Amino acid sequence: MAQCKGRYADKELTFTNGREFYTEIRCLGKALTGDLCKKCVKNEHIPFNPRLQLDQFQGKVGEEYFKKSVLYGSPWYLKKVERDNYEVSQENLATAKQAQRDALYGTQMPRKKKEEAPAPAAPAPKEVKPEVKPKKPRAPRKKKEETPPPPPAPEPTAPIAVESAEEPLEALEVIKIPVTLKTIHGKQVWYDSKKSKVYELKKDKTVGQYLGRFDSAEDKIVDFPDSDVDV
Ligand SMILES: [Zn+2]
């Protein structure tokens, strides 16, 4: 797609007497309608205000300059040089001529010497702030998941009366045994401290099978017939 032919004032230069004039610059937009981009088609209809040379559409590159334009090469400029004998330095003249050439032939390059004197027309570069994403409510929850699992429930201090799962051979006698939770070799069990008897801790936290006696000296469960059954 062709480059838009919209012409604008760019850099402010001065004659040796201090009077300003501007270099021109070609719009970098893509010509969508005829020779102009969407923006310039819009700007074309805005009446030219000679007091505000910058940011205003000043015709198309290669075409005649507006009467009251103060761009290099404009009727006003030529009058100042030819009639009023305004002078311009070689450097400024070269800059203005180059800008006119660049505009005419089109360029996708950024304007030259832009960094030296930023044109007031150019919008100030927006400060790019790092995007701070609002913390999602998920984050703290995730954190919670990362924390170590809560310590096992404190062992009940008050003995719980449980029913022994061991079935007496002769009679279906319900035996009440006070037990507490105890950890032996990393495994939680129900423990009858009175008789050092160990019972299985079932998944539903109820007392399971009789496992044996806890030998505190050996720190292990030793096989021992359930005395309560032997009654
Ligand atoms: Zn344009």
CB-count burial class (<10 Å; 0-12, 13-18, 19+) for 72: buried
Residue, of 155 and 59, whose pLDDT is higher = 59
Amino acid 155: pLDDT: 53
Residue 113 placed within a domain: no
Write the DSSP symbol of residue 36: B
Distance 122 CA to ligand 1 centre (A): 14
Distance 38 CA to ligand 1 centre (A): 7
Domain count, the chain: 2
Residue 43 has pLDDT above 80, yes or no: yes
Amino acid 229: pLDDT: 61
Who surrounds ion ligand 1 at CB < 5 A? 4, 6, 27, 29, 37, 40
Distance 88 CA to ligand 1 centre (A): 29
Angle at 115 between CA 22 and CA 122, to 5 degrees: 55
Region 145-158: mean pLDDT is 55
Judged by DSSP in three states, 48 sits in: coil
Pair 80, 87: CB distance under 8 Å: no
Distance 70 CA to ligand 1 centre (A): 20
* The pTM of the whole model exceeds 0.75: no
Amino acid 181: pLDDT: 87
Residue 55 placed within a domain: yes
Last residue of a domain, one of 73, 105, 137: 105
| DSSP labels, 152-207 | PPPPPSSPEEEE--SPPSS-----EEEEEEEEETTEEEEEETTTTEEEEE-TTS-E
Q: Partners of 3 in the beta sheet? A: 30
pLDDT in tens, 76-127: 999 999 999 999 999 999 999 999 999 999 865 544 444 444 444 545 555 5
- What is the extent of the structural domain holding 186? 180-222
